[in-house]
Structure 1
Amino acid sequence: MTPEAILADLVACPDLPGRSNATIAETVQRHLRRMGVEPVVLQGPEGDRVNILATIGPRDVPGVVLSGHMDVVATDGQVWASDPFCLTARDGRLYGRGTTDMKGFLACMLAMVPEFQAAGLRQPIHLAFSYDEEIGCRGVGHMIAAMPGLIAPPLACIVGEPSAMRPVLSHKGKRATSLVLTGRAAHSSRPEAGLNANYAGAEMLLAIRDLNARLAEDGPFDDRFSPPHSTVVAGVVRGGTAVNIIPERCEIAFEVRAIPADDPAAITAKVIRRAQDLVPNRALAVSHSELSAYPALPPSECAELADLLARLTGNIPLQSVSYGTEAGLFQAAGIPAIICGPGEIDRAHRPDEFITPGELAECCAMLRGLAQHLSSA
């Protein structure tokens, strides 16, 4: 089957993060088994989600992992020109949710299986399909932990997030947190009888703003990134139920994006400590929970991987990108990782997301070259 035909099957699976991914997982397995590949299905601790790992070539020899996530973001509130879960060809483009992020890469992985099988691979290619990437790369860590019992230690990992087929060497790490400030409700005519959580929330918003300014001024800095320092941003604020009730609860969702030399958990802890400083004098209660997290991808010390991808794609490697991927988790596990996939990241998560047949063909050409490399190694 062509990558376009497989992509149509994948786009038709509306599996979102944080819930069962049975539809797309069964579709991926069906395509693999159709080609004579028996996948390893790894159930996550949630009970209704799975990772999938499939190997072409010898399992007991170090090889290369091709990694991509099966989940897509929701289309709620977006206006599309066509059904987002039905692949639609229009004006030389293929429209549908996930076409770029990142079912296009998954379709190429699957479409190339017959060529991988015919290549006589001396070193294997492992196809890794993960879940819940869009809410903090929650699934892939379980698959990475299971790999030592399934395959020889991989030589490298290529994560197929959209990069216009340009190899990407690094990205920042991320930690998103929900901070809840709880005060005391009262009638608005008696504000002294209550404890306004929104006022405490306002102080925390200013504290987050000021911390971000200090990071920009004091660093640490890494000129490989833009901006060249870590950041902390308050993205969502929810507080109060009615104008005539003193707000009892204020929730702030904030996000840290950290350069490899910095620790997003340490920056998050500074925000939490500032919130806790409000407690003794205000009788406030403070709680927090992690929304999502993944480590930074520092540039790999394996220069051969970047050189190989540059040769296979014909593109000069890009030092860094602003978005994050599961690549940092692979690298943290001792598997050199790089990002390289079809499509442009600025199409992701938007209405009328698309990819082109030419971009799919470019990706297949890169994978074909990889198979040739692993057959002659």
Structure 2
Amino acid sequence: MTPESILADLVAIPDLPGQPNTRMAECVRSHLARHGLECSVITGPEGDRVNLFATIGPRDVPGYILSGHMDVVPVEGQVWTSDPFQLRADGDRLFGRGTSDMKGYLACMIAMVPAFQAMDLQRPIHLAFSYDEEIGCRGVRHLIDRLPGLCAPPLACIVGEPTDMRPVLSHKGKQAMELVIEGRAAHSAQPDLGLNALYPAAELLLFIRDLAARLATDGPFDARFTPPGSTVVAGVVQGGSAVNIIPDRCRIQMEVRSVPGQPPEAITAMVLDRLAGLVDDGTALRVSQTELSSYPALPPPEDPALADLLQRLSGQPVLPSVSYGTEAGLFHAAGIASIICGPGSIVRAHRPDEYITVSELAACCQMLERLGAELS
């Protein structure tokens, strides 16, 4: 089957993060089974979501992982010119949710299976399909934990996020948190009987603002990124129910994006220390925090061999860094050299009328074919 026909099957399944992914996993497995390729199914702790892992070639020698996530972001609130879950062709463009991010790469991985099988691979090519990437790279962690029992230690991982087929060397790390501040409700006519949760929340928001300014001034800095330093922002504030009720609860959602070498948790810890201090100084009764998502940064590779290989395979120059995050940081943290390179463009991702082109799919298949030839 062509990448386009496989992509049509993948796009037709609205595999949203945080929900069961049985249909999508079965679709991928059925495509691989047509070529006699069996998958290992790695079930996540949720019980209703799975990763998939398959190997072509010898399992007992180091090889390369091709990795991509099966989930896509929702379409609610977006205006599409056609059904986002039905692939629509218009000239060279193929429209549908997830075409660029990143079912186009998955379709190429699957389409190349018979070509890989026809090669005399001396090193294996592994196919990894993960879940819940769009809500913090949650699923792939469980797949990575299982790798020692699935294959020999891999040489490297190629994560196929949309990069216009340019090999990407690094990205920032991220941690998103929800912070809850609890006070005491009272009638607004007697505010002294209550404890207004909005006021300590305001203090915490000012602390986050000032911390962001210090990071922008003091660094550390990495010139590969724009902006060059780590960032912290508050994105959501919710509190209060009526003007005549002293609000007893306020919720803040914040995120950190950090340059390689500075873990996002180190910046978050400063905010959490200030959060705990709100109880100590009596402006809050209780505070709590919940991690919403996180992934480590991907530092540039120390050994240029992987970047040189991907430049040769893709025919494109490397891109030093990108502003978004990927599962590559988690593979790297597990000791697997990682790089990002895939078809489509990130500027089309998460938007109405997302698309990929037939020529981009062809270029990706050509890159993967060259990889197979390298390993044969």
TM-score for the superposition, normalised by structure 2: 0.98
Aligned counterpart, 1:30: 30
Aligned counterpart, 1:343: 344
Q: Which amino acid aligns with 1:59?
A: R
Aligned counterpart, 2:43: 43
Aligned counterpart, 2:67: 67
Matched residues in 2 for 1:198 and 1:89: separation?
51
1:302 Cα shift? 2.7
CA displacement 1:216-263 (0-9 Å, x = unmatched): 101111112111111001111111122222211111110000111112
Matched residues in 1 for 2:108 and 2:25: separation?
16
SS of the residue 2:297 aligns to: coil
Hey, which bits of structure 1, 4+ residues long, moved more than 6 A? none
CA displacement 1:136-183 (0-9 Å, x = unmatched): 111111111111111111111000001000000000110000000111
Q: Which amino acid aligns with 1:115?
A: A
The 8 Å contact of residues 197 and 249 in structure 2, kept in 1 or not, is answered as yes
1:283 Cα shift? 3.9
Q: Which amino acid aligns with 2:304?
A: A
The 8 Å contact of residues 197 and 284 in structure 2, kept in 1 or not, is answered as no
SS of the residue 1:14 aligns to: coil
Aligned counterpart, 1:310: 311
1:135 Cα shift? 1.0
Pairing 1:266–2:271 present: no
The 8 Å contact of residues 302 and 336 in structure 1, kept in 2 or not, is answered as no
Matched residues in 1 for 2:76 and 2:216: separation?
34
Matched residues in 2 for 1:122 and 1:213: separation?
53
The 8 Å contact of residues 298 and 328 in structure 2, kept in 1 or not, is answered as yes
Aligned counterpart, 2:123: 123
Matched residues in 1 for 2:189 and 2:91: separation?
61
Pairing 1:7–2:7 present: yes
1:193 Cα shift? 2.0
Matched residues in 2 for 1:39 and 1:150: separation?
11
Aligned counterpart, 1:284: 285
Aligned counterpart, 2:364: 363
1:272 Cα shift? 1.0
Q: Which amino acid aligns with 2:197?
A: A
Matched residues in 2 for 1:133 and 1:244: separation?
42
Correspondence list, 1:8-157, <5 A:
8-157=8-157
CA displacement 1:33-71 (0-9 Å, x = unmatched): 011101111111110010100111111111100000011
The 8 Å contact of residues 175 and 291 in structure 1, kept in 2 or not, is answered as yes
CA displacement 1:268-316 (0-9 Å, x = unmatched): 0101111221212224311001000001001112311100100111111
Aligned counterpart, 1:190: 190
Matched residues in 1 for 2:225 and 2:208: separation?
21
1:10 Cα shift? 0.5
SS of the residue 1:302 aligns to: coil
Q: Which amino acid aligns with 2:136?
A: G
Aligned counterpart, 2:353: 352
1:91 Cα shift? 4.4
Matched residues in 2 for 1:369 and 1:344: separation?
22
The 8 Å contact of residues 31 and 110 in structure 1, kept in 2 or not, is answered as yes
1:191 Cα shift? 2.2
Matched residues in 2 for 1:143 and 1:258: separation?
25
SS of the residue 1:278 aligns to: helix
What percentage of residue pairs aligned between the two structures are identical? Answer: 69
Unmatched runs of 5 consecutive residues or more in structure 2: none
Matched residues in 2 for 1:64 and 1:17: separation?
26
